[in-house]
């Protein structure tokens, strides 16, 4: 019976002593931190009204059939020579635009890609063209003077 007592004492000692001798390399895994959803603040739309240059002038349509009653015209090119304006028209047509040429009273040939009855819509379109077509970064707004 003594052997049994000794074995029982050794077993109990091992039970209590061994767990306290853990290796330093063994660590208890901590639960991952709760997932925090990152919510971006909505960005305000850029103010396009103030940054778009505009000019008011009288003009005529190079082709009378292209005439519109609109007051606001998106201009992407301005040329003193009609040949250059026509070349720009061809390039713009190949890019999917429907350009028209306006002859200003100062003798310039303005290449227009859109026209509107609303100034705010026209300004937004100028901004879109400046943003999406770097080659037309200097697009501007022509306002018809009656």
Dump pLDDT digits (tens) for 63-75: 888 888 899 999 9
pLDDT (tens digit, 9 = 90+) per residue, 7-51? 566 655 555 555 555 555 556 667 777 776 766 666 555 454 558
Greatest pairwise CA separation for the chain in angstroms: 123
pTM across the whole model = 0.65
Domain ranges of the chain: 50-144
CATH number listed for the domain at residues 50-144: 3.30.70.1070
For residues 98 and 112, give the distance between their C-alpha atoms in angstroms, rounded to a whole number: 8
Q: Are 78 and 88 in contact (CB under 8 A)?
A: no
């Amino acid at each position: 019976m003594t052997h049994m007592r000794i074995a029982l004492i050794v077993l109990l000692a091992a039970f209590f002593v061994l767990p306290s001798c853990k290796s330093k390399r063994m660590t208890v895994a901590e639960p991952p931190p709760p997932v925090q959803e990152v919510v971006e603040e909505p960005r305000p739309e850029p103010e396009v009204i103030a940054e778009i240059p505009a000019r008011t002038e009288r003009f005529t349509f190079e082709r009378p059939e292209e005439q519109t009653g609109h007051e606001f015209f998106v201009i992407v090119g301005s040329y003193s020579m009609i040949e250059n304006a026509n070349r720009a028209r061809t390039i713009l047509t190949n890019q999917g635009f429907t350009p028209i040429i306006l002859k200003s009273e100062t003798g310039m040939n303005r290449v227009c890609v859109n026209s509107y009855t609303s100034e705010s819509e026209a300004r937004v379109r100028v901004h879109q063209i400046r943003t999406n077509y770097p080659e037309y970064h200097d697009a501007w707004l022509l306002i018809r003077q009656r």
